[in-house]
Structure 1
Amino acid sequence: MAELQSLEQLGGAVAPAAPEAPVHVQKLDSQGRAYATGKRKDAIARVWVKPGTGRIMVNKKDFTEYFARPVLQMILRQPVMLTNRDGQYDIVATVTGGGLSGQAGALRHGISKALTYYEPELRAILKKEGFLTRDSRVVERKKFGRRKARRSFQFSKR
């Protein structure tokens, strides 16, 4: 093996180049909509985002009718408000499973993902707030010999 006299002799063999950051591209269907699936607990939300007037439809109802609690409505609008896109996109979603709170969380996750598919430059903003992370907490299963997941049967001394 030959000895090196200077660093120039090494060329590009010192260390492999750092991998480039992934390039995120716009993902649209044939009708110009971005589609994403959001999940939380047992709830699954299928979300379509397209340019429009800011209407949000959940299971063919207005979101204020489907989610009556103001807190749940606020959760849904968080990604749109954070990215200053209020009134620019129509959102159509179908949600199944879980309760209302889980469905609202799943819908927020789905809206965030769909927005990043439509406008990839929004990804950094939504990721920083944690909207692109799936909340994977689910109900613990019931174990054999227990009353619930962890609760034992009542002890009887006699």
Structure 2
Amino acid sequence: MQIINTIGRRKTSIARIYLTPGKGDIKVNDRELKEYFLSEIHQTTVKQAFASVKAENQYDVMVNVEGGGVKGQAEAVRLAIARALVEVNAEHKPVLKKDGLLTRDSRMVERKKPGRRKARRRFQFSKR
């Protein structure tokens, strides 16, 4: 029995997963998926790679995720699972690639600049 170890990132979230053949259990930080990701949308996001390759309930996933918010963490886990599925079976790659699940979303929060209120928002101008 082999264990596939991959990593996924999104914004400031980092997800490390361990994929093993099993019956579909997903544990996130030693908690059940439904207990960690309360929103149905985030649960679906995590399972999206399995749905694309029709491999639901075939693998057990152990996830360690940290940093960022709930959405970023869910998307980081999704990327890690997609990468692991490609390692298991290379025939999954075109399907996952077409669905955009193998591309790391590089968008990050723009930094605040000096002399501005936020990244782009300027302080209010007062003529008098």
User: TM tier, shorter chain?
Assistant: over 0.9
Q: Give, in angstroms, the shift of residue 57 of structure 1.
A: 0.5
Between the aligned partners of 2:86 and 2:4, the Cα distance in structure 1 is: 9
Structure 1 counterpart SS, 2:77: helix
Task: Name the amino acid aligned to 2:83.
Answer: K
Percent sequence identity over aligned pairs: 48
Between the aligned partners of 1:45 and 1:112, the Cα distance in structure 2 is: 12
Q: Name the residue aligned to 2:33.
A: 63
For normalisation by structure 1, the TM-score amounts to: 0.78
Task: Name the amino acid aligned to 1:70.
Answer: E
Q: Give, in angstroms, the shift of residue 73 of structure 1.
A: 0.5
For normalisation by structure 2, the TM-score amounts to: 0.96
Structure 1 counterpart SS, 2:16: strand
Q: Give, in angstroms, the shift of residue 157 of structure 1.
A: 2.2
Q: Which of these residues, 31, 34, 45, is aligned with residue 75 of structure 1?
A: 45
Higher relative contact order (CA 8 A, sep 6+): 2
Between the aligned partners of 1:82 and 1:155, the Cα distance in structure 2 is: 51
5+ residue gaps in structure 1?
1-30
Q: Name the residue aligned to 1:20.
A: none
Q: Which of these residues, 9, 13, 23, is aligned with residue 43 of structure 1?
A: 13
Q: Name the residue aligned to 1:144.
A: 114
5+ residue gaps in structure 2?
none
Question: Which one has the bigger strand percentage?
Answer: 2
Q: Name the residue aligned to 1:111.
A: 81
Structure 2 counterpart SS, 1:123: helix
- Report how many residues are paired: 128
Moved over 4 A (4+): none
Q: Name the residue aligned to 1:123.
A: 93
Structure 2 counterpart SS, 1:132: coil
Larger CA Rg, structure 1 vs 2: 1
Structure 2 counterpart SS, 1:98: coil
> Once the two structures are superposed, what CA deviation does each residue of 1:65-105 show, in whole Å capped at 9, x if it has no partner?
00000000011111111111111100111111110001111
Task: Name the amino acid aligned to 1:138.
Answer: M
Q: Name the residue aligned to 2:2.
A: 32
Q: Which of these residues, 116, 123, 126, is aligned with residue 153 of structure 1?
A: 123
Task: Name the amino acid aligned to 2:98.
Answer: K
Between the aligned partners of 1:143 and 1:100, the Cα distance in structure 2 is: 26
Q: Give, in angstroms, the shift of residue 147 of structure 1.
A: 0.9
Q: Give, in angstroms, the shift of residue 32 of structure 1.
A: 1.2
